[in-house]
Structure 1
């Protein structure tokens, strides 16, 4: 199991509004970098392709109001994983955001995927500052 953590970023947005936005996969497409193609989503499921790599499916499994969204891998994926969106309120108009991924990969694969996945998570968490809420 590989545990991958993004940076912690101040969003400049209220935790309640960030949670509402990120609780709907239809909103996630705007956070994705250009190497993501074939985006398809409903409110609680999505699939996409990472250019030159794999197709990924995800499903929102659990929501803790204003603080956490627990996402699990869904469908045919190269490896099972969980992804937690963590929001920590700073004040009424600002929160911190972080992404935590647990990927079920062997140590050899972990060495290969940890860097690229951390970069991907950091891209997503930095885009939280741009969320239109």
Structure 2
């Protein structure tokens, strides 16, 4: 059974093109890695480590390593990821829409394949995770 979780819409004071260009190459997230200790603290110690290359990101949360790989880039609009070495099959996508020439908005969505028993266990962590990811993306310097 597929379950889907969506973040609230976040406004970003940068153009759609700048946001897309930064997020479509994960090597551009070095500024996030430089602030890893601060991010770990904000996560309440749940986030343990993070690494990335151009097409994938691996995060370690409470002893579990999760890897996401970019599988599709729709220029200026959407970046789609697929879980790689995740406990359940999942996809994540970041939608980017223009508000004006100098402002964009984003929404993060996760879809996971889980059974009924797992749904009860993963619903709250996935909803919290998708919201925190959107919050983090909204404050990045683009």
Q: Tell me the TM-score normalized by structure 1.
A: 0.89
Q: Secondary structure at the match of 1:97?
A: strand
Matched, 1:72 2:77: no
Instruction: Write out per-residue CA displacement over residues 79-130 of structure 1, whole angstroms, 9 at most, x where no aligned residue.
Output: 1100010011111111111001110111221121111111111111122232
Partner of 2:15: 14
Inter-partner Cα distance in structure 1 for 2:138 and 2:102 = 12
Task: Give me the CA root mean square deviation.
Answer: 1.9
Q: Secondary structure at the match of 1:123?
A: helix
Q: Is the contact made by 1:29 and 1:39 (CA closer than 8 Å) also made in structure 2?
A: no
Matched, 1:42 2:42: no
- The answer for unaligned runs of 5 or more in structure 1 is none
Inter-partner Cα distance in structure 2 for 1:29 and 1:105 = 34
Inter-partner Cα distance in structure 2 for 1:56 and 1:42 = 14
Inter-partner Cα distance in structure 2 for 1:41 and 1:10 = 25
Aligned length: 131
Instruction: Write out per-residue CA displacement over residues 37-87 of structure 1, whole angstroms, 9 at most, x where no aligned residue.
Output: 2322111012221124x211110001011110010011x220110001001
Q: Tell me the TM-score normalized by structure 2.
A: 0.84
- The answer for unaligned runs of 5 or more in structure 2 is 41-45
Moved over 4 A (4+): none
